[in-house]
Structure formats: C-alpha cells, structure tokens
Structure 1
Amino acid sequence: MKKHIISILLLLSSIYLFADESLFHKANKEYEKGNYETAIDIYKELIKMDNISSELYYNLGNSYYKIENWAESIWCYEKSLKIKYDNKTIENLNIAKSKIKNRINPLPKTFYKKWWDKVINLLHIKKWQIITILSLWLTVSFNIVTNLKRKKSKKYLFIVLYSICIILIIISQQSYNNFIKKEAIIFSSSLPVNSEPTKNINNKKLFNLSLGTKVEVIKTKKDWIYIKLNDGRKGWIKENDVKRLN
C-alpha cells in the first residue's frame, strides 16, 4: 500500500513539474511573439505557484522593460540577482536604471572596495558557504592526519590551508550580509523623503526620489520606513510607496 502511495505522489509531483515547465515555455513563446502583457501574466502565475528561479525573474524583468515599466523591471532584475549573480542580468539592470530620471550617484569606492565587491559577487552565497565548509573539512582532516603521522614538514601547508579558510569565512559572512540586507524599490514618482515619520508641521522634506530607485531599509515605524541611499543620505518614506526585495 505504501509503495502505491509513494508512486502516486511521485507521479503527481512529476505532472506538477511538467506543468510548470510547460507554462514557463509558453510565457517565453508569448514574449518572443511580442505579447509582453500575456507573458507577464503567465510569469506572475508561476511565481504564485512558488516556481521561483533567477531565470523566471530575469524574463519577467525583460517583459516589463519592453512595456517601459522601469520600476517593475528593475525590481525583477534585482530579485533575479538575489537568487543568482549573472553578468547579463547586471547589464540589463543597468540599462533599465539608465531610464530613471535624477539617478542617485553612489559614493565613490576605493580600488580595494571595488575589487572586494567583485570577489564577493563571483559566486552566490550558497556556493561560497559550500566552498567554505569543504575547505574547513579539508583543513581539519589534514591536521588530524599530519598529527597522527607526526609530520612536522607539513606545518606550513596547514598554515596556508588555515589562512584560506579564514579568508573564505570572511567572504561567506560578507556575502550573507549582502544577501539579508533589507532593500526595496521606489514605486512612486517624485517621492518626498521626510525628516520624521509623521505628517505634522515639524516634518521637513529633505529631498525627492525617482521611480525605480533602490533603497536600503534601516528600520520600520508603523507604516513608515527609514531608508538609506547609496550616496549616504537617509530619511523617512511611506511603506506603501515601495516594493520590498526581501
């Protein structure tokens, strides 16, 4: 009886996966035909079914870009990058960002910071974690074997392996910090950023943000969020004026 139940469950899961794959190909076909609105509806249906992938968000971003919905396309590309870092997605994201009026220029980075960011973005967080765990296992195993055989000549190799592990742990931690960073995309045109989370007379408008701008969410207070821009400026905006990335 149990075997029959397992067989039925496997069959149903196979049918479900096949249906998802079929829908994804259908959406891609609609995109190729230029039916971008139809493709968007199908991609969104797949997201509701929890069939989420970097490719799905990437294609959805392309569809929104074609109908000139810059904010949605930017949001989708950013979601895709949260799942998998990809140069093509970065390229399309930058093209979509170029459509934003009054873009925020980030603070200049040092050569070291640029190089470090490139290293962090070489792999997704999960891959960095796997490599780090394997390196730790290799280093510990090597140390145990070396101690058992009393081979002091291998001491320097152990130091090298240990140093690599430390570097990988730092990279994995930074990758994790980037992954869990709370971010959002502005979905309101010319959004005022305020000094306080209130509408009273003491509240001052600090500056405006354009549609499609990415912000970091520092904290929340009722229906307000305190945000930080990549140029260092901070302020309060309404929660319903953004779409969160995580």
Structure 2
Amino acid sequence: MIYIIWLFLSLGSFAQNNVLFEQGNTLYNAGKYAEAIDKYETILETNVQSSDLYFNLANAHYKLDNIAPSIFYYEKALLLNPNDSDIAHNLAFAKNMTVDAIDDIPDAGFSKLVKSITNITSFNTWAKFSIAFAIGFVVLFLSYYFAHATLKKRLAFIVSLTCLFLMCVTLVLAFNKQSLDKRNNPAIVFAQESQVKSEPNNRSEEVFRLHEGTKAQVLDTVSNWKKIKLADGKTGWIPSDDIKMLNNF
C-alpha cells in the first residue's frame, strides 16, 4: 500500500516537473529569461537532475550575461552528458565572457595516452570488461586443460593468455579511472572578484585574484577555505563561499 502511494506521488511530481519545464521553455522562447530561470530552479528544488534541465538553465543565464551561473550549469550538463556537442559549444561561448586568461598545461607523452584511454569509459565499465576477460580466461584455460587435440590446446592456451593480459590491462584502467575521478573536484568561482591567499586565513599573502566564471580544481578544505589549483598549475586558498562545487548533485 505504501509503495502504491509512493508511486502515485512520484508520478504526480514527474508530471508537475514536466509542466514546469515546458513553462520554462515557453518563457525562454518569449525572451523572459529570469522567469524561465525561476521555473527551472523550482524543478531543481525537487532534486531532479538532467542535462537538458541544466542546459536550458545555463542558456537562460547566458542570455542575462550571468557569467558564473551560465558556466556552472553548462559544466553540470556536460558532466551528465559529456558527448553533447551543443553543450560544449555553448560552454565555449560562455567562457569567452570570463576575465581570467588561464593557460592550460596539457599532459604530454605516455601520461597523455594513458589518461585518454582511461577516460574513454567509466570505472564501472572498465570493471565489467575486467570481469568478462577473467571469466573468459578461466573458461579457455579449462578448455586447454581438458582438450586432447594439439591444435585446440594451443589455440585455447594462446587465447586464454590474451584474456589474462586484457584482464590485467582493464583492471589497471579501472583503478586509474577511479583515482582520476576521486581527484577530480572541479568548482566555479561565483564571487565577482576573489582574493586567493597563500594560506587559509585572511592575514596571509595574496597570491593572485580570480573572477567569476573561472574553473578550478579543489585539492583540500580547511575550515571555511578551499585549496584550489588552476589549469596553469597555480595553487592557493580561496574562501569556500566564493566558489560552487560542480560534483554536488
């Protein structure tokens, strides 16, 4: 009985959110961007997450020249749908509005190759590949052990070793992906201008300043301060209230 009640409530909430989403789209198309944002944010308050919702919300903020929110929601949409070219295209336009010019330090050589391969898919998918190759190895090794024909034994042995090798490779990629995801804590600066300090306190030296819309990686947290790292390698401490974490869904 409780499950049925919960199901009806869920369906009602889903229908209501669809109505709000369409209302938001209608307002957006009419040029009423602030009102469209209100509709989209009402949906977010129900803990509903989707790339389409974040994308439309980002578009509305972009139309109002709200730099930080537009970049923030484009980035959120891209996290949920990383292969969407429209999101990536609009995000690039939004980044053109930012003040800070930060040069990205690209990975090079073998490190770049490993990172590119690791990011092809998720940790769970790499783990599933590893399990599949492990099962393949066991089955083929048993086939090799019990086979009588020389050709079958040789073939089963070679393919089983191949599965063993691929199992090890995908297992390493799975743990590497897990490590990369764990270290990936992006955030967007929301303060119009923020002083980045050398230590997590207001008395320490200012090392540089950041402006709204800039993206950084969060390395550590101490009290009300976050240690951040920029794409060019610079690090420092910024007040926690000046940034918003992207991975908080």
Name the TM tier (shorter chain): 0.7 to 0.9
Q: Does structure 1 retain, via aligned residues, the 8 Å contact 2:225–2:238?
A: yes
Say if 1:107 and 1:5 are closer, same or farther in 2 by CA, change over 3 A: closer
Secondary structure of the residue aligned to 2:218 is: strand
> Is 1:204 the equivalent of 2:205?
yes
State the shift of 1:206 in Å. 0.9
Structure 2: how far apart are the matches of 1:244 and 1:132?
A: 32
Structure 2: how far apart are the matches of 1:20 and 1:134?
A: 40
Q: Aligned match of 2:166 in 150, 164, 167?
A: 164
Per-residue displacement from partner, 1:115-160 (whole Å, max 9, x unpaired)?
Answer: 5444444434554444444444444444445445473421221222
Structure 1: runs of 5 or more not aligned: none
Q: TM-score, normalised by structure 2?
A: 0.82
> Is 1:103 the equivalent of 2:101?
yes
Q: Percent identity?
A: 29
Q: Does structure 2 retain, via aligned residues, the 8 Å contact 1:82–1:179?
A: no
Report 1:216-231 matches (<5 A): 216-231=217-232
Report 1:33-182 matches (<5 A): 33-88=30-85, 89-110=87-108, 112-149=110-147, 151-180=153-182, 181-182=184-185
Structure 2: how far apart are the matches of 1:51 and 1:68?
A: 25
Letter in 2 for 1:191: S
| 1:21 alignment counterpart | 18
State the shift of 1:239 in Å. 0.8
Q: Does structure 2 retain, via aligned residues, the 8 Å contact 1:103–1:210?
A: no
Structure 2: runs of 5 or more not aligned: none
Q: Does structure 1 retain, via aligned residues, the 8 Å contact 2:198–2:236?
A: yes
Secondary structure of the residue aligned to 1:16 is: helix
Q: Does structure 1 retain, via aligned residues, the 8 Å contact 2:140–2:159?
A: no
Secondary structure of the residue aligned to 2:49 is: coil
Per-residue displacement from partner, 1:197-226 (whole Å, max 9, x unpaired)?
Answer: 1222xx211111121111111111111111
Structure 2: how far apart are the matches of 1:147 and 1:18?
A: 59
Structure 2: how far apart are the matches of 1:176 and 1:111?
A: 21
| 1:30 alignment counterpart | 27
Say if 1:177 and 1:68 are closer, same or farther in 2 by CA, change over 3 A: farther
Secondary structure of the residue aligned to 1:227 is: strand
State the shift of 1:170 in Å. 3.1
Structure 1: how far apart are the matches of 2:210 and 2:193?
A: 5
Structure 1: how far apart are the matches of 2:142 and 2:44?
A: 48
Secondary structure of the residue aligned to 2:172 is: helix
Secondary structure of the residue aligned to 1:156 is: helix
Q: In angstroms, what is the RMSD of aligned CA positions?
A: 2.6
Q: Does structure 2 retain, via aligned residues, the 8 Å contact 1:186–1:210?
A: yes
Structure 1: how far apart are the matches of 2:54 and 2:126?
A: 22
| 2:188 alignment counterpart | 185
Per-residue displacement from partner, 1:58-102 (whole Å, max 9, x unpaired)?
Answer: 222222112111211111122223223124222222221122112
Secondary structure of the residue aligned to 2:101 is: coil
Letter in 1 for 2:227: Y
Q: TM-score, normalised by structure 1?
A: 0.83
Q: Does structure 1 retain, via aligned residues, the 8 Å contact 2:143–2:156?
A: no
Structure 1: how far apart are the matches of 2:135 and 2:209?
A: 51
| 2:235 alignment counterpart | 234
Secondary structure of the residue aligned to 1:31 is: helix
Q: Does structure 1 retain, via aligned residues, the 8 Å contact 2:137–2:161?
A: no
